[in-house]
Amino acid sequence: MSNNSSRTSIIVILLCCAIGTLLSVYALYVEINAEQDKNYRANCDISSTISCSKVFKSRWGKGFGLIGLVIGEDHPLNLPNSVFGIVFYTLQVALAFSSSSRLTSLQLYTSILSNIASVYLGYILYFILRDLCVVCVSTYITNAVLLGAIYYKNKAIQESKRTKQRKKQK
């Protein structure tokens, strides 16, 4: 992978992870405050149909609405989605500097999984909750851009690996 393309991919990945982490931390902050104070109004609560706290407090705001069904609502792993986001973005930062094809593939697969989760949660947001969560949509966009950067990084590493193999064969 060339220095310029490597540097660009890493910068975009780190930028997306910084944005994603900030969005996740803010989502957690809103959720905690909304649970503690019934009168709490978050900056992202614009109207009755544009409300992030409404979404975060819904059953889909923890464990993607699935973990609680499987292992119980009170299980320690049934955490706010934002906690999973923080862990995900931390993992992506840890993998960002790797040029190992296996680790980059892991990074790609986890990013694909996060985009599948984004589509699932976007569906819930629009069709079930009938809400627009600015924080959520911003996270979905961040995940899509992150996937693109990781895909580009993965492709460049695979090409570099093939080039090295061809040189060894000559």
Global pTM reads 0.92
DSSP state of 124: I
| Average pLDDT of span 14-26 | 98
Q: What is the pLDDT of residue 136?
A: 98
Asked if residue 35 has pLDDT above 60, the reply is yes
Give phi and psi for 116, each to the nearest 5.
-65, -45
Residue 55 and residue 125: Cα distance in Å, rounded? 7
Fold classification of 3-165 is de novo design (two linked rop proteins) (1.20.1440)
Rounded CA separation 123/103 (Å): 30
Which residues are registered as beta bridge partners of 80?
62
pLDDT average, residue stretch 121-136: 97
C-alpha 44/C-alpha 65 separation (Å) is 21
State the pLDDT at residue 132: 96
User: What is the average pLDDT across 127-156?
Assistant: 96
- Domain regions of the chain by residue span: 3-165
- pLDDT, position 2: 58
Q: What is the mean pLDDT of residues 30-35?
A: 94
Beta strands (DSSP E) in the chain are: none
The answer to whether the beta carbons of residues 134 and 50 sit under 8 Å apart is yes
pLDDT tens digits for range 53-82: 999 999 999 999 999 999 999 999 999 999
Interval 86-103 mean pLDDT = 95
Q: What is the pLDDT of residue 162?
A: 86
